Structure 1
Amino acid sequence: MRSRIPSLALAGLVGLTLVACSDDPAGPPAAGASDAGAAGGTAGDGHGDVAGAAELSEPQLGLTTIDPAGTVTHLDLLDESVGELGRIGAPSAMTTDGRYLFAQTDGGVEVVDSGVWTWDHVDHFHYYRAEPALLGTVEGDGVATVATTNLSTTSGTGLFFPESGEAVLLDTEELSKGEITEQFRLDTDPHAGLVVPVGSFALVTEATDGVATSVVARTADGEPTGLEVPCTQASGTITTRVGAVVGCADGALLAHVQDDELVVEEIPYPEGATAPPATAFANREGRPTVAALAGDAGIWLLDTRERSWTLLPAPEPLVAVTAVDDADQHLLALTAEGRVLVLSGEDGAVLAATDPLVAESLAAGVVPTLVADQQRAYLSAPVEQRLHEIDFADAARVARTFETTTEPAFTAETGR
């Protein structure tokens, strides 16, 4: 089904101690031009530059972490320098778009600007560095669900506070200027909801008896457009180059802007599918294929270009998966024993595996972060106080391990 509606018009770094143990002293190769980008025809609009930012010749990749006390630290993956960006409240959850960290604290959602980002110009990329900053707090009740796009200087960022039912759309362009500006804040029924930005629109869940049953299209100022699409038990969202994905009990919605119109398509699960639905998606930023756990039944792959689902078998119990979606169709998984597996995206076969790297964290009930870019994967080991860089194309070789001075409770790869 396809529906359309018309478009309406911190301070300087303070050094910290961190030791790198590496069999790859040259560091990761620079991420070249990939297919990652923004959805809805927004990639290529402008160049992603902001006042005071320096444009550089290669991506400024880093790992930005928050420890349990709220100390924010940035590790530069190019020169291995480390700096403290400041301190926020004690975090309980975190979401990132590759530049900003949206950390849940007792006060709401605190926004951290890592100061590094990449702009996808479709056939080439622009790389920027600016001063990192702690931007402030978006107030709200309950642990918010945060939905981002792939562009950190335009469009919006959605937050939904489940306890109050408040739906908030932030102006991402204003975030890039150091300001938190709410484009809208709507009161809805309390539920586990979503605000999903799509170009100059947003999809906001509506609930019946405390359960999301549909998404309503709204303009950037919060006005309903008249489009409402069923989506029972809406859960999980991610943006690919093709569009914004919203998980539903019977499949997914794919939303994008085409010719100044919002297009929303339904992608149902294969007929007869009995595996649990996908409720959280992950991939190499912007790539068309996304991965999600299908409960204990396997791994869902959603190809947003082909509008198709594939269910792969899980070789053993898994706690996280992400789609690399490279030329070899690699898929990465974190096992319940703490190993990283490199899987075939064709049939789920195990191609390579690390030794257990995060067994202590998993035993303590802490789920590490697993994220992939074009060249490498990064795995946080919070309890072990380490960050691992893994060359998934080279037999899952651990290329570098960084010892941290505090527990990296939440980790984001930034600059991508």
Structure 2
Amino acid sequence: MHRSALTLPVVGLLLVSLVGCAGAPGVASATSTAEEGGGHGRIDGAAEVAEPPLGLTTIDRHGSVRHLDLLDESISELGEVRVPSRVTGDGRYLFAAGDNGVTVVDSGRWTWDHVDHFHYYRAESRILGDVPGGGVASLATTNSSTTGGTGIYFAGSGDAVLLDTEALSKGEIVERFRIETTPHDGLVVPVGSFALVTELQGGAVGSVIAYDGSGMPVPGVTGECPDARGTITTRVGAVIGCADGALLATVADGDLSLEHIPYPPGTTAAPATAFANREGRPTVAALAGGEGIWLLDTRERSWALLPAPAPLVQVTAVDDEAQHVLALAEDGRVLVLDGITGALLAETPPLVAESLSRGDGEPLLIADDQRAYLNAPTEQRLYEIDFADAARIAREFATDTTPAFVVETGR
């Protein structure tokens, strides 16, 4: 069964101004944005700014939310959320998943992608409230913070939820649908106005079913995906990892289609189960067990397997002109790799060795077009790394909390 269009009350609403927009350098007023922006991702009450309002939004082990402005290095206290087991971000929102629900935090900073140019916005930050559900949820987002949907699957209760992302931008939590399924380690993957939901076959995840925004199945659109794990959205479409390759979901002229991208014949490497890249780029990276690094080019529909120069815990594809791939090694070093050969180009000292050995939070390596960012919970540091300049530590920020989870916001 399904239930659609549920508006949840905004719980614990907290409005915190990150930067006063009126009269600030490089900031257009909300009025002028409304007159000149032409709807390019603008939201009422937001101000258009001249450059990406980049920041690192963190949640510590006790649920305290902070924002580090990467432009002026100021720090804002955003409030308290449930103590999370997992945090996912989409460049604007943070989704903090605990044992019985997900708390949504709006950083108030985002970039609107118009393909050939961008618009940048800043608004008040707010803790929007909670989405209830049983068990720690998995999250799937798109590259838009003002349109489409956000997928939440609660493994404990089996609830598959699609949030209305446009409603989030207005300070409301609206469920476009909530579908009751057999509990499993599942996914809800938004694709345009649709969503894919994993389905059990013989006790294991074996396929995905497409639903429209009201929670009704889309006739004839299903895809085989044994042991579906891991998802990411690129400029091309949404990717879901499968035991035998990946599913690529795309929307053209309002129609949803699924395409299977198999692994190269004869491969023995472990399948990809978690993907990462510079947001929106077509190529994504994933660990191939201990055998190397998978690169999936969603534009070319092709896989490549790179050797790993050391045991790794994370990888991400920058997908720039130099085809950089970044990796976090088990000993805490950040490695810069050649995305064609896998050769080691540069490395940092061990930055998060203690965090990795203690399991104190989740160090996350994030790539954008110019820098990489890494949180070090136990070391109480946030690092900015210039990966194109011999992995130089460009900036290091000391914290008086343990930044257990981090999301780069404003991009």
1:263-310: CA deviations, max 9, x gaps?
211100001111010000000000000000011111000000000000
SS at match of 1:11: strand
TM-score when normalising by structure 1: 0.89
Q: CA RMSD in A?
A: 1.4
The residue number in structure 2 matching 1:332 is 326
Structure 2, unpaired ranges of 5+: 1-13, 20-36
Aligned mate of 1:264, from 254, 258, 267: 258
Work out whether residues 252 and 267 of structure 1, in 8 Å CA contact, stay in contact via their aligned partners in 2.
yes
Does 2:374 correspond to 1:372?
A: no
1:131-187: CA deviations, max 9, x gaps?
000000111111111000000000000000111111000000000000000000001
Mapped partners of 1:257, 1:284: distance in 2: 21
1:211-261: CA deviations, max 9, x gaps?
211011110011001211101100000000000001101000111111111
Q: Counterparts in 2 of 1:145-294, with a 5 A limit?
A: 145-226=138-219, 227-294=221-288
SS at match of 2:184: coil
SS at match of 2:102: strand
Q: More deviation in 46-55 or 178-187?
A: 46-55
SS at match of 1:272: coil
Aligned residues: 379
Work out whether residues 236 and 281 of structure 1, in 8 Å CA contact, stay in contact via their aligned partners in 2.
yes
Aligned mate of 1:399, from 394, 400, 406: 394
Does 2:106 correspond to 1:113?
A: yes
Work out whether residues 365 and 372 of structure 2, in 8 Å CA contact, stay in contact via their aligned partners in 1.
yes
The residue number in structure 2 matching 1:125 is 118
Letter in 1 for 2:403: P
Q: CA deviation at 1:47?
A: 1.3
Q: Counterparts in 2 of 1:344-359, with a 5 A limit?
A: 344-359=338-353
Q: CA deviation at 1:12?
A: 2.5
Q: CA deviation at 1:46?
A: 4.7
The residue number in structure 1 matching 2:60 is 67
Q: CA deviation at 1:208?
A: 2.2
Mapped partners of 1:147, 1:45: distance in 2: 29
Work out whether residues 45 and 121 of structure 1, in 8 Å CA contact, stay in contact via their aligned partners in 2.
no
SS at match of 1:295: coil
Residues 282 and 339 (structure 1), Cα distance of their counterparts in 2 relative to 1, 3 Å cut: same
Residues 163 and 210 (structure 1), Cα distance of their counterparts in 2 relative to 1, 3 Å cut: farther
SS at match of 1:360: helix
Q: CA deviation at 1:105?
A: 2.2
1:76-110: CA deviations, max 9, x gaps?
00000000001011111100001000001244100
Aligned mate of 2:309, from 312, 315, 326: 315
Work out whether residues 16 and 126 of structure 2, in 8 Å CA contact, stay in contact via their aligned partners in 1.
no
Work out whether residues 336 and 345 of structure 2, in 8 Å CA contact, stay in contact via their aligned partners in 1.
yes
Mapped partners of 1:415, 1:210: distance in 2: 41
Residues 224 and 356 (structure 1), Cα distance of their counterparts in 2 relative to 1, 3 Å cut: same
The residue number in structure 2 matching 1:12 is 16
The residue number in structure 1 matching 2:45 is 52
SS at match of 1:181: strand
Mapped partners of 2:127, 2:38: distance in 1: 27
Does 2:385 correspond to 1:390?
A: yes
Work out whether residues 174 and 181 of structure 1, in 8 Å CA contact, stay in contact via their aligned partners in 2.
yes
Q: Which stretches of structure 1, 4 residues or more, deviate above 6 A after TM superposition?
A: none
Residues 130 and 13 (structure 1), Cα distance of their counterparts in 2 relative to 1, 3 Å cut: closer
SS at match of 1:128: strand
The residue number in structure 1 matching 2:27 is none
Q: CA deviation at 1:48?
A: 1.0
Residues 203 and 46 (structure 1), Cα distance of their counterparts in 2 relative to 1, 3 Å cut: farther
The residue number in structure 2 matching 1:414 is 409
TM-score when normalising by structure 2: 0.90
Q: CA deviation at 1:11?
A: 2.1
Work out whether residues 18 and 125 of structure 2, in 8 Å CA contact, stay in contact via their aligned partners in 1.
no
Letter in 1 for 2:316: T
Mapped partners of 2:128, 2:321: distance in 1: 38
Mapped partners of 2:202, 2:126: distance in 1: 40
Structure number with higher relative contact order (C-alpha < 8 Å, ≥ 6 residues apart): 1
Structure 1, unpaired ranges of 5+: 1-9, 16-43
Work out whether residues 65 and 73 of structure 1, in 8 Å CA contact, stay in contact via their aligned partners in 2.
yes
Work out whether residues 58 and 404 of structure 2, in 8 Å CA contact, stay in contact via their aligned partners in 1.
yes
Work out whether residues 117 and 415 of structure 1, in 8 Å CA contact, stay in contact via their aligned partners in 2.
yes
Mapped partners of 2:15, 2:113: distance in 1: 27
Letter in 1 for 2:53: Q
SS at match of 1:361: helix
Letter in 2 for 1:217: A
Work out whether residues 98 and 137 of structure 2, in 8 Å CA contact, stay in contact via their aligned partners in 1.
no
SS at match of 1:173: helix
Mapped partners of 2:145, 2:202: distance in 1: 35
Work out whether residues 89 and 106 of structure 1, in 8 Å CA contact, stay in contact via their aligned partners in 2.
no
SS at match of 1:408: coil
Q: CA deviation at 1:13?
A: 4.8
